[in-house]
Amino acid sequence: MQTSNALDALAEYRASAGTRERKVIDAVLDAPHLVPQLTITQLAERVGVSGSTLTRLVRKAGFKDFPEFRMQITLELERQSHVDDGLGSALELLDGKTSLDQAIQRLMRNEVHSITTTLAGLRNADLEHWADALVAAGRAVVYGFGSSAIAAADLSRKLRLLGIDATSCTTLDDAVMDLAAHRSSVLVIFSFSGESPEAINLANAARTLNRTVSSVVGRRESTLGGISDIVMHSVAEEGQIRGLGTVTRLAQCVIVDALMAAVASRDPSRITSAVFELHDAVRGVHPGRPGTPGEAV
CATH 1.10.10.10 range(s) for the chain read 3-81
Alpha carbon of 79 to those of 33, 193, 217: distances in Å?
13, 17, 21
Whether residue 143 contacts residue 189, with contact meaning beta carbons closer than 8 Å, is answered with yes
- Give the distance between the most distant pair of CA atoms in the chain: 77
User: Angle 66-81/6-14 helices, nearest 10 degrees?
Assistant: 120
Q: What's the pLDDT tens digit per position in 35-75?
A: 877 888 888 888 888 989 999 998 999 888 888 888 788 77
Q: What is the mean pLDDT of residues 108-119?
A: 80
How confident is the model at residue 111, as a pLDDT? 78
Per-residue confidence (pLDDT) for residue 1, from 0 to 100: 45
Lowest mean pLDDT among 52-66, 134-148, 224-238: 224-238
**What is the location of CATH 3.40.50.10490 in the chain?**
118-266
| Phi then psi dihedrals of residue 88, to 5 deg | 75, 180
Q: 118-266: which CATH architecture?
A: 3-Layer(aba) Sandwich (3.40)
Phi and psi (nearest 5°) for 180? Answer: -65, -30
Q: What is the pLDDT of residue 185?
A: 95
Q: Is the pLDDT of residue 200 over 60?
A: yes
pTM equals 0.65
The CATH number of 3-81 is which of 1.10.10.10, 1.10.3720.10, 3.30.70.20, 3.40.47.10? Answer: 1.10.10.10
For residues 204 and 183, the model is more confident at 204
Query: Which pLDDT score, from 0 to 100, does residue 84 have?
Result: 40
Rounded CA-CA distance 23/28 in Å is: 9
Closest among 87, 136, 118, 133 to 238, alpha carbons compared: 87
pLDDT reported for residue 86: 46
Helix (H) / strand (E) element for 144: namely: strand 139-144
Could you count the other beta carbons within 10 Å of the beta carbon of residue 204? 13
Report for 56-70, 149-163, 232-246, 276-290: range of highest mean pLDDT: 149-163
- Read off the pLDDT band of 79 (50, 70, 90): low
